Amino acid sequence: MKITLVKKILADGSPCKKCADVLDKLENSGQISRIDEIVIADERNPDSTGMQLAKTLEVDRAPFFIVEDDAGNTEVYTVYMKFVKEVLDQKTEESDELQEIMSNEDLDFL
């Protein structure tokens, strides 16, 4: 299995706060070692590796994780809690999962 984390640099050149938060969590939990590669989606450069991956994989937000299994199947995770629960087998609190989704997703049409 290969895990790639795509983090973002904003159009004004500043780092993405959510990406930094996710990296902090991975480091604090020791699970950063499970990440094989970290690539940048630089909004100033559409040719940056992360921006191209986002385009190819139809992802419209960052950070996101690309999980490639040994058979070559690719799964994309845009929700950190979903990723650590399903891929890293980490126990998560449902309230944390729901809050992350609510913060990330644009759900006020419901």
Residue appearing with tokens 């087998």? 89
- Minimum CB distance to another protein, residue 23 (Å): 14
Choose between 33 and 109: whose C-beta lies nearer to another protein: 109
Instruction: Select the residue interacting with another protein from 3, 7, 8, 26 (CB under 8 A).
Output: 8
CA 92 distance to own-chain centroid: 16
Q: How far apart are CA 105 and CA 110, in angstroms?
A: 12
On the question of a cis peptide bond just before residue 15, with omega within 30 degrees of 0, the verdict is no
Site string for another protein, 24-63 (x = CB under 8 A): -----------------x-xx-x----x--xx--xxxxxx
Output the six-digit token pair for 101: 């989704």
The H or E element containing residue 86 is: helix 80-86
Could you tell me which stretch among 23-31, 32-40, 97-105 binds another protein (CB under 8 A)? 97-105
Cβ atoms of 41 and 100 within 8 Å: the answer is no
User: Interface with another protein includes 68 (CB under 8 A)?
Assistant: no
Q: How far apart are CA 24 and CA 30, in angstroms?
A: 10
- Minimum CB distance to another protein, residue 76 (Å): 6
- Residues forming the site for another protein (CB under 8 A): 8, 10-11, 16-18, 41, 43-44, 46, 51, 54-55, 58-64, 73, 75-79, 82, 86, 94-95, 98-99, 101-110
